[in-house]
Chain A
Amino acid sequence: MRGGWIESGPLDEESRIDRAAARRVLVRLARMLRPQRGAVLVATALLVVQTAALLAGPLIVRWGVDAGLVARNGRVVNAAAIAYLVVALLGAGFGRAVIWNVSRTGEDFLRGLRTRVFRHLTGLDLGFFEREKTGRLVARMTSDIDALQELVSQGLVMFVQNVLIFVGTLVVITLLSWELTLCTIIVVPPLLAASIWFRNRSNTAYLNVRDSISSNLSTLQEGLEGVRVVQAYGREGGFIERFEATNEAQYEANIETVRIATRYFPVVEFTGVLGIAVVVGAGSVLVSNDALEVGTVLAFVLYLSNLFEPIQQLSQLYNTLQSAGAALAKIFGLLDTPNSVPERPGAVDLPPTGALEVAGVTFAYGGGPPDTDGIEHPLGPTVLTDVSITVAPGERVALVGPTGAGKSTLAKLMARFYDPLAGEVSYGGVSLRDATRASLRERIVVVPQEGYLFAGTLRDNIRVGDPDADDARIEAAVDALGLREHFESLPEGLDTEVRERGSRLSAGEKQLVSLARAALADPTVLVLDEATSNLDPGTELEVERALEALTEGRTVIVVAHRLSTAARCDRVAVVDEGRILELGSHDELVARGGRYATLFAAWTRSV
Chain B
Amino acid sequence: MDAEREARRAGWRLIRGATRPQWSWVAAGIAAGAAWTVARLVVPQLAGAAVDDGIRSGDTGRVLVLIAVMLGFGVLQAGASGIRRYCAFRIALRTETDLRAQLFAHLQRLHFAFHDEAQTGQLMARANSDLQQINQVVILIPLTAASLLTMLGVIVIMVSKSVVLAVLALGLLPLLNRAATVFSRRITPVNLALQQELSGLSGVVEESLSGIRVVKGFGAERMQNERLAVRADAVYERSLQAARMRAWFMPLIDLLPTISLVAIIWYGGHLVLDGRLQIGDILAYNLYVAMLIWPLRMVGMLIAQASRASAAAGRIHEVLATDPEVADPHHPVPLPPGPGDLRFEGVSFAYATGRQVLGGLDLHLRGGEAVAIVGATGSGKTTVARLVPRFYDVSAGRVLLDGVDVRDVPVAALRDEVGIVFEDTFLFSDSVRHNIAFSDPGAPFDLVERAARLAGAHGFIAALPDGYDTVIGEHGYSLSGGQRQRIAIARAVLHDPRVLILDDATSAVDPSKEHEIRSALAEVMDGRTTLIIAHRPATIALADRVVLLDEGRAVATGTHEELLATSERYREVLARIEDDEAAIEGSPS
Contact = CB atoms under 8 A, between A and B. Distances in A.
Interface in A201-255: 217, 220-236, 238-240, 243-244, 247-248, 250-251, 254-255
Interface in A115-163: 115, 118-119, 121-123, 126, 129-131, 133-134, 137-138, 141-143, 146, 149, 153
B475 A450 contact: yes
Nearest to B324: A231
B60 to A, nearest CB: 6
B228 A114 contact: yes
A132 to B, nearest CB: 9
B523 interface: no
Given A68-B269, A258-B93, A533-B507, A452 B214 contact: yes
Given A262-B85, A403-B483, A599-B511, A454 B207 contact: yes
Contacts of B535: 534-537, 540
Contacts of A232: 389, 391, 415, 418, 420, 422
B240 interface: yes
A248 B63 CA distance: 52
A294 B55 contact: yes
Contacts of B426: 225-226, 228-229
B283 A88 contact: no
A407 to B, nearest CB: 8
Given A284-B60, A284-B63, A138 B205 contact: yes
Contacts of A503: 115-116
Given A80-B269, A280-B63, A602-B511, A123 B128 contact: no
Interface in A499-521: 499-501, 503-509, 512, 514, 517-518, 521
Interface residues of B, number: 180
Interface in B221-260: 221-226, 228-229, 232-233, 235-236, 239-240, 242-244, 246-248, 250-252, 254-255, 258-259
B546 to A, nearest CB: 13
Contacts of B81: 265-266, 269
Interface stretch (A176-184, A426-434, A440-448): A440-448
B497 to A, nearest CB: 10
A198 interface: no
Contact of A415 (B217, B541, B572, B584): B217
A167 B573 CA distance: 82
B209 A88 contact: no
Contact of A250 (B97, B244, B580): B97
- Decide if the interface of chain B is mainly helix, strand, loop or mixed: helix
A37 interface: no
A277 B42 CA distance: 13
B119 interface: yes
B349 interface: no
Given A234-B416, A570-B588, A227 B115 contact: yes
A280 B279 contact: no
Contacts of A100: 243-244, 247
A92 interface: yes
B104 A448 contact: no
A606 B62 CA distance: 108
B85 to A, nearest CB: 6
A114 B538 CA distance: 51
B282 A298 contact: yes
B478 interface: yes
A473 to B, nearest CB: 15
A537 B538 CA distance: 13
Contacts of A538: 376, 572-575
Nearest to B513: A402
Interface residues of A, number: 191
Contacts of A119: 221, 225
Contact of B511 (A509, A517, A603): A603
Interface string B250-284: 11101100110111011001101100000100110
B216 A417 contact: yes
B93 A254 contact: yes
B127 interface: yes
Interface stretch (B46-54, B147-155, B400-408): B46-54
B354 interface: yes
Contact of B378 (A65, A72, A115, A508): A508
Contacts of A404: 460, 479-480, 482-483
A500 B124 CA distance: 14
B70 A273 contact: yes
A224 B123 contact: yes
A270 B573 CA distance: 83
A146 B125 CA distance: 13
A359 interface: no
B432 interface: no
A64 B269 contact: yes
A408 interface: yes
Contact of A491 (B101, B108, B203, B355): B355
B229 A122 contact: no
A607 interface: yes
Interface stretch (B3-11, B71-79, B303-311): B71-79
Contacts of A539: 376-377
B223 A464 contact: yes
A227 B108 CA distance: 6
A537 B423 contact: no
B514 interface: yes
A123 B248 CA distance: 41
A37 B447 CA distance: 66
A479 to B, nearest CB: 18
B218 A57 contact: no
A119 B229 CA distance: 10
Nearest to A81: B266
A188 interface: no
A153 B239 contact: yes
A107 B243 contact: yes
A405 B460 CA distance: 11
Contacts of B243: 99-100, 103-104, 107, 153
A534 B261 contact: no
Contacts of A84: 258, 261-262, 265
Contacts of B422: 228-229, 232
Interface string A60-87: 0100110011101010011011001100
A95 interface: yes
A239 B108 contact: yes
Contact of A266 (B47, B82, B232, B269): B82
Nearest to B56: A294
A534 B505 CA distance: 10
Interface string B282-322: 11001100100000000000000000000000000000000
Given A64-B269, A408-B481, A467-B226, A536 B573 contact: yes
B210 interface: yes
A403 B107 contact: no
A357 interface: no
Nearest to B269: A77
A407 B216 CA distance: 18
A509 to B, nearest CB: 5
A380 interface: yes
Nearest to A302: B286
A288 interface: yes
Interface in B54-108: 54-56, 58, 60, 63-64, 66-67, 70-71, 73-75, 77-79, 81-83, 85-86, 89-90, 93-94, 97, 100-101, 104-105, 107-108
A19 interface: no
Given A273-B71, A298-B279, A454-B211, 8 more contacts: A96-B247, A96-B250, A114-B232, A122-B224, A220-B124, A404-B460, A567-B587, A606-B541
20 contacts: A65-B282, A74-B273, A107-B239, A134-B474, A220-B127, A232-B391, A243-B105, A280-B55, A280-B63, A280-B66, A407-B480, A415-B216, A437-B221, A450-B477, A489-B378, A521-B218, A538-B376, A540-B575, A561-B482, A568-B583
What 8 pairs across the A-B complex have the smallest Cβ distances? A441-B219, A403-B482, A273-B74, A508-B377, A103-B243, A452-B211, A81-B266, A606-B538
